[in-house]
Amino acid sequence: MDVRRLVRVGAICGAVTVYFALVGLTDRFAKLALVGSSVTMGRLVLVIAPLIAGYAVGRPRTRSGTTVSLPIRDAVVHGLVAGAIAGAVFALFVIFVDAFGVERVRGVFINVSPAMMEYVTFGQTAVVAALILTAASAVAGGLGGGYPVLPVTLRKPTGSAVLAVFALGFLQRIVPIALDQLNVERDWLYSRRLGGLTWAGAVVVAAIAASLSILKQRKGDRIRELVRAPSVEGSTRPSGTQIVVALVLLGLVLVTPLLVGSVISNVLGFVLIFALLGLGLNIVVGYAGLLDLGYVFFFAVGAYSLALLTGASLNTFTGSGPPAVSADLNFWVAVPIVMLIAAGAGVLIGAPVLRLRGDYLALVTLGLGEMVTVLLRSPWLEPLVGGPSGMRGVTDAAIGGFGFQDPVHFYYLGIAFVAFAAFISWRLASSRIGRAWTAMREDEQIADAMGVSTTRYKLLAFAMGGAIGSLGGALFAVKIGSLTPASFELLVSIQVLGIVILGGIGSIPGVIVGSLVLVGLPGLLREFEEYRLLAYGAAIVAVMLLRPQGLVPNVRRSRELHEEDEAQDKWAGDVPRDEHVAAGISPEGTGAG
Site for another protein in 474-513 (CB under 8 A): 480-487, 494, 497-498, 501, 505
**Is 445:258 a contact under the CB 8 Å cutoff?**
no
Distance of CA 362 to the CA centre of its chain: 21
355 is a site residue for another protein (CB under 8 A): yes
Tell which one of 389, 424, 426, 517 touches another protein (CB under 8 A): 389
Among 162, 178, 337, 408, binds another protein (CB under 8 A): 408
Q: Nearest-CA neighbor of 193 among 172, 165, 164, 207?
A: 172
Angle between helix axes 41-58 and 3-23 (nearest 10 degrees) is 160
Cα 159 from Cα 152, distance rounded (Å): 10
Closest CA to 43 of 145, 151, 119, 129: 119
* Of 327 and 491, CB closest to another protein: 491
Shortest distance in whole angstroms from residue 131 CB to another protein: 27
The reply on whether position 367 binds another protein by CB under 8 A is yes
Residue 390 interacts with another protein (CB under 8 A): yes or no? yes
Q: Report the alpha-carbon distance of residue 296 to residue 386 in Å, rounded.
A: 18
Q: Among 114, 336, 352, 593, which residue interacts with another protein (rule: CB under 8 A)?
A: 352
Nearer to another protein, 54 or 390 (CB): 390
Of 254 and 592, the one with the shorter C-beta distance to another protein is 254
Phi, psi of 61 (to 5 degrees): -120, 150
Q: Is there binding between residue 247 and another protein (CB under 8 A)?
A: yes
Residues numbered 255-274 forming contacts with another protein, rule: CB under 8 A:
255, 257-258, 261-263, 266-267
**Which of the residues 302 through 331 are near another protein (CB under 8 A)?**
313, 315-320
Number of amino acids touching another protein (CB under 8 A): 121
Q: How far is the CB of 71 from another protein (least distance, A)?
A: 30
- Check if the beta carbon of residue 186 is closer than 8 Å to that of residue 179: yes
Tell me how far, at minimum, the Cβ of 110 lies from another protein, in Å.
5
Binding of residue 360 to another protein (CB under 8 A): yes
Round to whole Å and give the CA distance between 280 and 467: 7
Those residues with Cβ within 8 angstroms of residue 390's Cβ, 6 or more apart along the chain or in another chain: 314, 315, 482, 483, 484, 485
One symbol per residue from 207 to 246: x for binding another protein (CB under 8 A), - otherwise; what is it? ------------------------------xx----x---
Whether 501 contacts 544, CB under 8 Å: yes
Binding marks (x or -) toward another protein, 92..121, rule CB under 8 A?
----------------xxxx----------
Contact between residue 97 and residue 51 where contact means Cβ atoms under 8 Å apart: no
Q: Which is nearer to another protein, 207 or 259 (CB)?
A: 259
Site for another protein in 437-456 (CB under 8 A): 445
Residue 252 engages another protein in binding (rule: CB under 8 A): no
Q: In what order do the strands lie in the sheet with 319-321?
A: 319-321, 313-316, 391-392, 482-483
Question: With respect to another protein, which residue has the nearer C-beta, 81 or 474?
Answer: 474
Beta bridge partners of 310: 328
Q: Is 521 in the site for another protein (CB under 8 A)?
A: no
The answer to the question of residue 71 lying near another protein (CB under 8 A) is no
Could you say which DSSP state residue 379 is in?
S
Q: Which is nearer to another protein, 387 or 589 (CB)?
A: 387
- When asked if residue 534 is in the footprint of another protein (CB under 8 A), the reply is yes
| ∠ Cα 352 357 359 (to 5°) | 105
Which residues, 6 or more positions from 94, have their beta carbon under 8 angstroms from its beta carbon?
117, 120, 121, 126, 129, 130, 133
Closest separation in Å from C-beta 204 to another protein: 29
